[in-house]
Amino acid sequence: MMRIASLCIVALAGVAGYLQIESRLPWSPFAIPAVLESELQVAEPAPVVVGKKAQATAQVSVPEPRAQFIPETAAPSVHAGSAILLNDGNLRAFWFAGSREGASDVVIQTAVFDSKSSSWSSPEVVIDRVSAEKGLSRYIKKLGNPLPVRSSQGTLQLYFVTVSVGGWAGSSISWMESNDEGISWSRPQRLITSPALNLSSLIKAPGFDFTDGTLGLPVYHEWMGKFGELIRVDGGRVIDKRRMSSGRALLQPIVFIDAPEKAVAYFRQARSAGPPRIASALTESAGQSWVSGADLDLANPNAAIAGLQLANGDRLIALNDLESARHRLVLAIAPAGTNNWNVIAELESDQTMTNGLYREFSYPSLLLGANGEVHLIYTYDRKKMKHIQFDPRWIESKKNSKGSS
């Protein structure tokens, strides 16, 4: 009886949500950022010279990735990092920190990466559970998954997950806005994705713009099944939404835009049957409808993935390419507009177990810097946030060496 009652509530909420959504007109096309091959700044191939001296010269011309940990706080557990490019060319990262995931003492923290000195500032608290309760005027049990977004007006927005009852399946999305690049923030507001219950909406992956200035946010649900959904947001208000995946076991979609009407989404795989692979869905209607695509030949142990379109159009994914656990983190690349994925670098791998457990390297976030460099932020063993900066020439060299092998 309880299950039937729950299904009725969900059905009524879905119908009410459908009736309340104002826009069922054709969506505006995706906004396509300018992509110029010259912006990649890939070095010209060095002349072929025999000898060790030539090899040393080639190594100098392609800088190796630079890795560092974001300064720690007293929190024993950190997770779910993300970052955004600031107007001055620096980066601002966000993550949640506390005694453990889901604890009442979890806060959202932030730090700034100075691109000139290649150093991070000390972390600061953006919002905690108590201030979220006051701002939202409702009980908040826990916080999670901060995601920064640049609005069409140029302001910085921070979306994050709040839970009042139950686990993550009972979550909703809230947001704040900053007019000074994250130094100060407005009062938090709830993002109403469904006017009836407004439950089980979570966020992880970056958003993107439509040509009419509205924001597209790939979100996901975990209550009575897992699925992805694309919502259109205008001024903090959801004006339309469409389901992105079929079935009940796909979540945390990331989106690559190919053309004004075409895009592909990749999903974290949570199904119990079949090989654990990254799933996909396709749209040719600017996100209004989606059809299931073929799984990628990339393993996914029910873990978050991150995606980034490079300046030359190539696609980059950071992932745990394992069938179980999250103790290996790699980079994979596919040429522009294709699904021909190749792993080009192993970033982390733990082959020794401590107390029966591997260390975890998870929840990656990718970002393109002001000069074409690639930034990766991820959870390091749930204890630290790690940052790696890649020169685009290094990525290109890895892709070329993989292609010729």
Q: What is the pLDDT of residue 193?
A: 87
Residues 6+ apart with CB under 8 A from 325: 301, 358, 360
- Nearest C-alpha neighbor of 269 from the set 230, 296, 242: 296
**Pairing state between β 208-209 and 215-221:** antiparallel
Q: What is the pLDDT of residue 244?
A: 96
Q: What is the pLDDT of residue 169?
A: 79
- Nearest C-alpha neighbor of 290 from the set 245, 258, 250, 252: 245
How far, in Å, CA of 238 to CA of 214, rounded?
10
Collapse the DSSP code of 19 into the 3-class scheme (helix H, G, I; strand E, B; otherwise coil) and give the result. Answer: helix
Query: What DSSP line would sit under 117-141, residue for residue?
Result: TTEEPPPEEEEEHHHHHHHHTS---
Domain boundaries, given as residue ranges, for the chain: 65-404
Q: What is the pLDDT of residue 45?
A: 38
Cα dihedral 59/117/307/92 (nearest 10): 180
pTM, rounded to two decimals: 0.88
Q: What is the pLDDT of residue 272?
A: 80
Q: What is the pLDDT of residue 248?
A: 83
| CATH architecture designation of domain 65-404 | 6 Propeller (2.120)
Give pLDDT tens digits along the chain (405 positions): 444 444 444 444 444 444 444 446 789 999 986 543 333 344 343 343 444 444 444 455 889 999 999 999 889 999 999 999 999 999 999 999 999 999 999 999 999 999 999 999 999 999 999 999 999 999 999 999 999 999 999 999 999 999 998 888 788 999 999 999 999 999 999 999 877 666 778 999 999 999 999 999 999 998 878 999 999 999 999 999 999 987 789 999 999 999 999 999 999 999 888 889 999 999 999 999 999 999 999 999 999 999 999 988 899 999 999 999 999 999 999 998 788 999 999 999 998 877 778 999 999 999 999 999 999 999 999 999 999 999 999 999 999 987 655
Burial of residue 37, with CB atoms counted within 10 A of its CB: 0-12 exposed, 13-18 middle, 19 or more buried: exposed
Residues 6+ apart with CB under 8 A from 230: 216, 217, 218, 219, 241, 242, 244, 253, 255, 287, 290
Q: What is the pLDDT of residue 2?
A: 42
For residue 81, which amino acid is it?
Answer: G
Between the alpha carbon of residue 312 and those of residues 266, 341, 393, 401, 403, the distances in Å are 20, 16, 12, 17, 17
Q: What is the pLDDT of residue 24?
A: 65
Kindly report the length of the chain: 405
